[in-house]
């Protein structure tokens, strides 16, 4: 018999004012999920980890250092105001 704690069985709910907010959140979630997913093809590494591993062994194949291209949401903060 498996007993789940209420905390693990809880589903987060979000309220969106407009459909485009839902679309943006869903796109960000899917991108983060796909980036963090470990793949058998890459010997259990995430796509980002695999790219960094290849860059270390063969840096001449890349134009830009992929380690400087951190995955995730990027926001520009100028004087405390997000753009």
| Rounded average pLDDT over 22-39 | 85
- Check: CB of residue 49 under 8 Å from CB of residue 57: no
Q: In this predicted structure, what is the pLDDT of residue 81? A: 47
Side-chain half-sphere of 66: how many Cα atoms within 13 Å?
A: 17
- Please report the pLDDT score of residue 71 as a whole number: 58
- Of 70, 33, 66, the closest CA to residue 51 belongs to 66
Inform me whether the pLDDT recorded for 35 exceeds 80. Answer: no
- Specify the 3-state DSSP secondary structure of 64: coil
What are the tens digits of pLDDT across the range 40-82?
888 898 888 888 899 889 999 988 887 777 655 555 545 444 4
The average confidence (pLDDT) of the chain is: 76
């Amino acid at each position: 018999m498996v007993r789940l704690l209420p905390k693990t069985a809880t589903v987060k709910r979000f309220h969106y004012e407009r459909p485009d907010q839902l679309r943006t959140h869903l796109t960000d979630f899917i991108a983060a999920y796909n980036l963090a997913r470990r793949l058998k093809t890459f010997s259990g590494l995430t796509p980002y980890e695999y790219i960094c591993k290849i860059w270390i062994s063969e840096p001449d194949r890349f134009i830009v250092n992929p380690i400087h291209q951190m995955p995730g949401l990027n926001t520009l903060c100028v004087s405390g105001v997000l753009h």
